[in-house]
Structure 1
Amino acid sequence: MTALLRYLAADLLRSQVFFLPALLFLAVLAMLNSGDPGPPLSAYQGTALVIYPVAAALTMVIANAEDPIARQVTLVTARGWGRVLAALLALSVLALLLLTALALLVPLLVNPRPQPPSLLLAGALAHLGSGLLGVAVGLLCARPLLHRPVHAVSTILLGVVLVVFLGRVPPIGNLMTLLEGSDGSHALAALTGNLALSAGLLAATAALVYAIGRTRL
Structure 2
Amino acid sequence: MLPSASLIAFALIALGMVLTPGPNMMYLVSRSICQGRKAGMYSLAGVVLGFVVYLLLAAFGLTAVVMAVPFAYDTLRFAGALYLGYLAWNTLKPGGRSPFQVKDLPEDAPGKLFLMGLLTNLLNPKIAVLYLSLLPQFIDVNRGHVLEQGLILGCTQILVSLTVNTTIVLLASSIAAFLGKHPRWATFQRYLMGTVLGALAVRMALETRKA
- Compare relative contact order (CA 8 Å, sep 6+) and give the higher one, 1 or 2: 2
TM-score, with structure 2 as normaliser:
0.38
Q: Judging by fraction of residues, say which structure has more helix.
A: 2
